[in-house]
């Protein structure tokens, strides 16, 4: 479910000597910069601060990235400080933006036009701040260095107004990232190890955050932000390395090393703990009765050796073992009756291999036994030599492919090494290749068996109240890991033929007709059953198939409207042909094909989208045949779907509140393709039966005479036409017809509209405010679409001021522009998460910004910055397949990229101001609110 350039002038043994000097990230006193290789300067200043500067001529023209690593994170939080390190991470950039706003100049301009993104990340032991600039010595470069000097020199002024503002934005980030949904998971992790602080109940979290006052935050800041705890890594095209190194000395060399708290790393404490068996009761919820038991099994790593080369070899061995174990476990065959889900922690959350098993209460033993069978097989037999060679070659390929001319790859390498506390200067690539060359099949299997034999040391169980598994003893549970019969299932070789030979024999080639070429140069073919296919060959490209029919959910009666939109998920869960959902998944993965929901239904269209490697042309068309003609009918699969949908509703992979607000607001605007809410989807599944959805599938998908298929990729016409005639040409024609009704003409409400919607499950501190401008734009009017994207970029360039200038406590501020081709409207959406009682203030704030936009005189420099961020591929088409769909769906020829760029270049500052004045007016504006209670705007 789930690298640095070889040093040209030094051999491996010389590097080991360098390593002995540089091994500890906190070895101080090395004041003279060491030239490790051409293009690198590295040093530790007298105060303990480290820096590394790396330049490469291949990176010319790109920006320079400057990452500051401060040695603090959530592992180092004291009791009552849960997430305080992350909260502290928010503050420097808020201060930096505030200073830029007051000072104005290049920094403010860079923030506004999006060329100066400010990003940070808090991990277990490091907080990382990322700054970028174009040139050493520039105004932005100097401003960033000055701010970093003050940050690690203890000189930041933690203004109370900023602290209070960040309370709201910090809480919103907690909600936005789904943290409230993972409360129980965090409970288990914090119980297993002191690495994780005890989590705060979601309903108490906002009050917890409000406790981060000036005294508490200042104390944490003084404890952890010091020169001797900081490393600055600067990577990019730097013409004068010596000057950059001198800047490091000038800006940071005079900072004094100050007393700091002693480092205590809980991960080491975790590795030394005795075996654990933990049982916790899940947090009660009143949403739905369906729940799962969560089981955590952890095989701990050994304590790493202090010698870095040995520690690296141990790490690489574990990484190989994790990958092989995961691949082995995912091959376990399963059924709807005994299905379970599992995730794998490959040493990211705790130093070990973790299995997260989810199953319905009462089925825990069967789940554990299934996993234990597969693991026992590995302990007894090891990994096959074929899989070993495949994994080893994959690792070697990764070493060979690592490109020091790729700036992104080098940045990631430095980041990984810093976060893993490994030497920045050490040549890992040479060492890893030497280690892989010396690795043997026998060595790996010995390590694998030893690793599995030692665990799992830690077992954790989170179950609903009253679940029998909570009364189980440790001895009984561990007996489940041993009490089973050996099974060879996990090594079964599965067939990868999607359609049986007998069925292929009953699918003779049918005649087809050449209809010539379309306006895009695609070859148009009509098959005997009426289906049309357009071919767009592309040498070296993967295969993509998109088939669609201009009939959708709105063409059915009211009772079937929602059920029609459930059909794609029903087919996905049931499988197709002779294969279950689980068998289909294994086959497609083995074939190297993307597995996921293939069918789609919206209000006015039904279709299918598939993708495959070029060598899988026949498999791609076979799969299309199965999905459109032969979904499986399995009562067991249908029951499983209902249970699965209950869990999906409780823990959706998307933001349910935001999704439901979007659907509700679209319905209010009479948008043709509004979609359905999460509750409508859940109720639709629970109230349907397999006969109903099968009939709807036939009505929507078994009318090939109304389908058009667009196929692009690397294929030859001589090979593809016979396969089209055999598979798409033999799609069945259903007698179940749809009585079409004329769709109502889409009209927008007149004048401004304000409305609030009650959304079940939303927190009062998780409200969603949506300010939307909507007006007619014809599908073929691509220039108005470019205008819309310019307007969106103007708003985006200033929206951050609500958080950093007005200090409104916002985390996510979004400005989205999109065209609805069905309703022929352009939509500009400003999304603002908020907290209770602030919505009226934010509506007024946005109105003020809009008024400023319309009267602001843009400079040419501002306009160029705005233009640089306009993304117009959805106007020109992202691919040949997209262009073909737009042409055959709407008879729409997309403009050439050069034509769009020429129009964009022709826009002047006065044109932009005129666009804002004409479009951002009250008659186009609609305001919507997602809230936990029904509330009407004034």
CB-based contact 301:271 (threshold 8 Å): yes
Q: What angle do CA 712, 718, 723 make, to 5 degrees?
A: 70
Q: Which DSSP letter does residue 471 get?
A: G
Mean pLDDT lowest for which of 295-299, 668-672, 781-785? 668-672
Q: Which of 113-117, 276-280, 624-628 has the lowest mean pLDDT?
A: 113-117
Q: CB within 8 A of 215, min separation 6: which ones?
A: none
SS3 assignment, position 880: helix
As a whole number, mean pLDDT of residues 928-934 equals: 78
Write the DSSP assignment of 144-163 as a string of letters.
HHHHHHHHHTT-----HHHH
Query: What is the torsion angle, in degrees rounded to the nearest 10, for the CA atoms of residue 470, residue 472, residue 478 and residue 480?
Result: -100
* Whether residue 663 has pLDDT greater than 60: yes
Interacting residues of 667 by C-beta distance below 8 A, sequence separation 6+: 674
Instruction: Please tell me the distance from the alpha carbon of residue 199 to that of residue 148, in angstroms, as a whole number.
Output: 31
Ranges of beta strands (E only) in 582-638 are 599-601, 606-612
Which H helix or E strand runs over 276?
A: strand 276-281
19 closest CA partner among 313, 419, 422: 422
For a pLDDT cut of 90, what percent of the chain falls above it? 42
- Rounded-to-integer distance, Cα 596 and Cα 589, Å: 11
CB 532 within 8 A of CB 525: yes
Nearest to 457 by CA among 680, 628, 297, 671: 297
**pLDDT exceeds 90 at position 12:** no
Could you report the per-residue pLDDT of 796-831, keeping only the tens digit for each?
A: 888 888 888 888 888 888 889 988 888 889 999 998
d(CA 864, CA 425): 40
Q: What is the maximum span of the chain, computed from C-alpha positions, in angstroms?
A: 84
Task: Dump strand ranges (E) for 748-800.
Answer: 753-758, 767-776
Cα 921 to Cα 929: distance, rounded to the nearest angstrom? 20
Q: How far, in Å, CA of 137 to CA of 142, rounded?
A: 6
- pLDDT tens track for 194-214: 888 888 888 888 899 999 999
Of 495 and 808, the structure prediction assigns the larger pLDDT to 808
Q: Which residue has the higher pLDDT, 476 or 289?
A: 476
- Between CA 791 and CA 828 the distance in angstroms is 8
Positive/negative CA dihedral, 570, 576, 582, 588 = negative
Residue 165 has pLDDT above 70, yes or no: yes
pLDDT at 486 over 70: no
* Residue among 524, 881, 531, 889 at smallest CA distance from 702: 531
Rounded mean pLDDT of the chain?
Answer: 85
Please check whether residue 755 is in contact with residue 928, taking contact to mean a CB–CB distance below 8 angstroms: yes
pLDDT value at residue 766: 64
CB 418 within 8 A of CB 233: yes
pLDDT of 400 higher than 80: yes
- Taking CB atoms within 8 Å and a gap of at least 24, the contacts of 203-210 are 203/763, 205/171, 205/174, 205/179, 205/180, 206/167, 206/171, 206/765, 206/835, 208/82, 209/83, 209/87, 209/167, 209/170, 209/171, 209/174, 210/167
Query: Which H or E element spans position 492?
Result: none
Q: In this predicted model, what pLDDT tens digit does every residue of 36-55 receive, in sequence order?
A: 345 888 899 999 999 999 99
Query: In the prediction, which pLDDT does 26 show?
Result: 31
Q: Please write the tens of the pLDDT for every residue from 116-134.
A: 778 888 988 899 999 988 8
Taking CA 561 as the corner, what is the angle to CA 560 and CA 564, rounded to the nearest 5 degrees? 75
pLDDT of residue 8: 29
Let me know how long the chain is.
938
**3-state class (DSSP) for residue 334:** coil
Helices and strands of the chain, counted as H and E runs: 35, 23
* DSSP, residue by residue, 340-397: -EEEEEESSSSSEEEEEEEE-TT-HHHHHHHHHHHHHHHHHH---HHHHHHHHHHHHH
* Residue-wise pLDDT tens digits, 733-776: 888 777 666 555 667 777 778 888 888 766 655 678 899 999 99
Residue 24 pLDDT > 60: no
Highest mean pLDDT among 4-13, 236-245, 280-289, 655-664: 236-245
In Å, what is the CA distance from 434 to each residue of 3, 314, 392?
14, 14, 12
**Where do runs of H (alpha helix) occur along 482-580?**
501-505, 558-564, 567-574
CA nearest to 192, candidates 314, 76, 71, 351? 351
SS3 93: helix
- pLDDT digit string, tens, across residues 559-618: 888 899 999 999 999 999 888 998 888 888 888 888 888 999 998 899 999 999 999 999
Q: Which two tokens stand for residue 204?
A: 């108490």
Report how far apart the first and last C-alpha atoms of the chain are (Å, whole number): 47
Distance CA 730, CA 6 (A): 57
Rounded to an integer, what distance in angstroms lies between the CA atom of residue 546 and that of residue 607? 7
**pLDDT over 90 (residue 86):** yes
Q: Which helix (H) or strand (E) holds 488?
A: none
DSSP state, residue 227: G
Closest CA to 241 of 406, 59, 35: 35
Using one digit for the tens of pLDDT, what is the confidence trace for 233-264?
999 999 888 999 999 999 999 998 887 777 77
- What is the rounded distance in angstroms from the CA atom of residue 816 to the CA atom of residue 799? 12
Q: What is the pLDDT of residue 425?
A: 75
Q: Are 834 and 770 in contact (CB under 8 A)?
A: no
**How much of the chain, in percent, has pLDDT values that exceed 70?**
90
* Tokens (6 digits) for 362: 């009462």
Torsion over CA of 585, 587, 590 and 592, rounded to 10 degrees?
Answer: -70
* More confident position, 814 or 501: 814
pLDDT of residue 5: 26
| Assigned token pair, 43 | 């040093």
Nearest Cα to 50, choosing from 21, 77, 73, 76? 21
pLDDT grade, residue 23 (50/70/90)?
very low
- 314: confidence class by pLDDT, cuts 50, 70, 90: very high
Q: Please, are residues 52 and 37 in contact by the beta-carbon 8 Å criterion?
A: no
What Å distances lie between residue 518 and 303, 340, 530, 548, CA to CA? 65, 49, 18, 17
- What are φ and ψ of residue 771, in 5° steps? -110, 120
CA distances (Å), origin 641, targets 571, 650, 752:
10, 14, 42
pLDDT of residue 477: 94
Retrieve residue 745's tokens: 């003409």
Whether the bond between 678 and the residue before it is cis, its omega within 30 degrees of 0, is: no
Residue 694: alpha-carbon gap to chain centroid: 33
Res 436: pLDDT? 92
- Select from 350, 366, 158, 159 the least CA-distant residue to 269: 350
At what angle are helices 782-799 and 860-868 packed, to 10 degrees?
110
The pLDDT value recorded for residue 843 is 92
């Amino acid at each position: 479910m789930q690298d640095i350039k070889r040093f040209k002038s030094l051999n491996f043994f010389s590097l080991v000597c360098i390593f002995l000097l540089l091994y500890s990230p906190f070895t101080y006193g090395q004041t003279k910069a060491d030239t490790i290789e051409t293009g690198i300067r590295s040093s530790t200043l007298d105060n303990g601060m480290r820096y590394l500067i790396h330049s490469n001529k291949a990176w010319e023209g790109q920006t320079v990235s400057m990452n500051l690593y401060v040695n603090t994170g959530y592992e180092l939080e004291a009791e009552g400080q849960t997430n305080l390190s992350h909260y502290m991470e928010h503050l420097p950039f808020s201060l930096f933006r505030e200073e830029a706003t007051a000072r104005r100049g290049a920094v403010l301009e860079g923030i506004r036009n999006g060329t100066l993104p400010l990003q940070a990340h808090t991990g277990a032991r490091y907080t990382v701040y990322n700054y970028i600039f174009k040139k050493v010595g520039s105004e932005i470069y100097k401003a960033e260095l000055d701010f970093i000097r003050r940050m690690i020199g203890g000189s930041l002024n933690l203004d109370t107004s900023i602290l209070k503002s960040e309370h709201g934005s910090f809480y919103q980030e907690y909600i936005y990232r789904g943290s409230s949904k993972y409360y129980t998971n965090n409970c288990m992790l914090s119980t297993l190890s002191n690495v994780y602080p005890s989590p705060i109940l979601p309903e108490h979290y906002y009050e917890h955050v409000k406790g981060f006052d000036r005294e508490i935050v200042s104390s944490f800041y003084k404890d952890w932000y010091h020169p001797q705890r900081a490393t600055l890594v600067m990577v990019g095209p730097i013409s004068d390395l010596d000057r950059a190194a001198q800047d490091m000395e000038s800006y940071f060399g005079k900072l004094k090393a100050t007393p700091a708290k002693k480092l205590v790393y809980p991960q080491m404490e975790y590795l030394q703990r005795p075996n654990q068996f933990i049982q916790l009761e899940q947090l009660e919820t009143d949403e739905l009765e369906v729940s799962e038991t969560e089981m955590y099994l952890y095989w701990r790593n050994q304590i790493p050796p202090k010698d870095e080369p040995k520690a690296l070899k141990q790490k690489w061995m574990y990484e190989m073992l994790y990958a092989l174990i995961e691949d082995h476990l995912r091959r376990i065959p399963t059924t709807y009756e005994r299905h379970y889900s599992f995730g794998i922690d490959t040493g990211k959350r705790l130093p070990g291999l973790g299995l997260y098993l989810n199953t319905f209460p009462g089925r825990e033993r069967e789940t554990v036994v299934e996993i234990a069978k597969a693991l026992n097989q590995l302990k007894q037999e090891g990994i096959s030599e074929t899989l070993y060679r495949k994994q080893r070659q994959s690792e070697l390929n990764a070493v060979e492919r690592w490109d020091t001319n790729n700036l992104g790859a080098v940045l990631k390498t430095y980041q990984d090494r810093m976060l893993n506390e490994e030497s920045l200067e050490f040549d890992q690539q040479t060492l890893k290749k030497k280690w892989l060359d010396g690795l043997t099949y026998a060595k790996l299997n010995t390590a694998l068996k030893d690793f599995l034999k030692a665990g799992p040391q830690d077992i954790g169980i989170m179950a609903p109240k009253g679940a029998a598994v909570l009364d189980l003893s440790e001895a009984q549970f561990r007996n489940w890991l041993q009490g089973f019969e050996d099974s060879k299932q996990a090594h079964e070789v599965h067939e990868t033929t999607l359609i049986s030979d007998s069925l292929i024999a009953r699918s003779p080639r049918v005649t087809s007709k050449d209809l010539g070429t379309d306006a895009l140069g695609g070859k148009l073919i009509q098959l005997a059953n009426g289906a049309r296919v357009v071919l767009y060959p592309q040498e070296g490209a993967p295969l993509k198939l998109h088939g669609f029919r201009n009939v959708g959910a709105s063409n059915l009666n009211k009772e079937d409207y929602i059920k029609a939109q459930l059909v794609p998920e029903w087919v996905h869960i049931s499988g197709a042909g002779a294969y279950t959902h689980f068998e289909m998944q294994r086959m497609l993965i083995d074939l190297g094909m993307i597995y996921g929901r293939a069918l789609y239904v919206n209000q006015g269209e039904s279709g299918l989208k598939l993708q495959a490697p070029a060598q899988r042309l026949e498999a791609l068309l076979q799969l299309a045949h199965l999905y459109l003609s032969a979904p499986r009918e399995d009562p067991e699969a249908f029951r499983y779907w209902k249970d699965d949908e209950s869990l999906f509703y409780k823990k959706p992979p998307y933001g349910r509140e935001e999704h439901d607000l979007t659907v509700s607001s679209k319905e209010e605007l009479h948008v043709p393709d509004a979609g359905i809410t999460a509750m409508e989807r859940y109720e639709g599944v629970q109230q349907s039966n397999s006969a109903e959805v099968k009939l709807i599938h036939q009505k929507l998908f078994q009318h090939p005479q109304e389908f058009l298929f667009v196929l692009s990729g690397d294929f030859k016409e001589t090979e593809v036409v016979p396969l089209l005639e055999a598979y798409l040409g033999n799609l069945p024609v259903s007698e179940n017809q749809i009585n079409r009704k004329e769709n109502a003409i889409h009209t927008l409400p007149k004048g401004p509209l304000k409305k609030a919607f009650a959304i079940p499950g939303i927190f009062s501190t998780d409200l969603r405010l949506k300010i939307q401008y909507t007006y007619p734009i014809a599908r073929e009017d691509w220039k108005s679409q470019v205008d819309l994207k310019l307007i969106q970029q103007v708003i985006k360039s200033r929206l951050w001021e609500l958080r950093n200038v007005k200090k409104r406590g916002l985390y996510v501020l979004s400005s989205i522009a999109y065209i609805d081709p069905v309703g022929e409207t352009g939509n500009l959406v400003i999304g603002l998460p908020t907290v209770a009682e602030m919505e009226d203030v934010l509506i007024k704030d946005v109105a003020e910004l809009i008024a400023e936009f319309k009267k602001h005189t843009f400079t040419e420099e501002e306009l160029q910055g705005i233009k640089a961020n306009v993304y117009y591929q959805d106007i020109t088409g992202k691919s040949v397949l997209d262009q073909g769909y737009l042409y055959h769906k709407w008879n729409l020829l997309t403009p050439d990229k050069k034509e769009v760029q020429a129009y964009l270049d022709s826009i002047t500052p006065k044109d932009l101001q005129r666009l804002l004045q004409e479009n951002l007016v009250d008659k186009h504006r609609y305001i919507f609110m997602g809230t936990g209670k029904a509330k009407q705007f004034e």
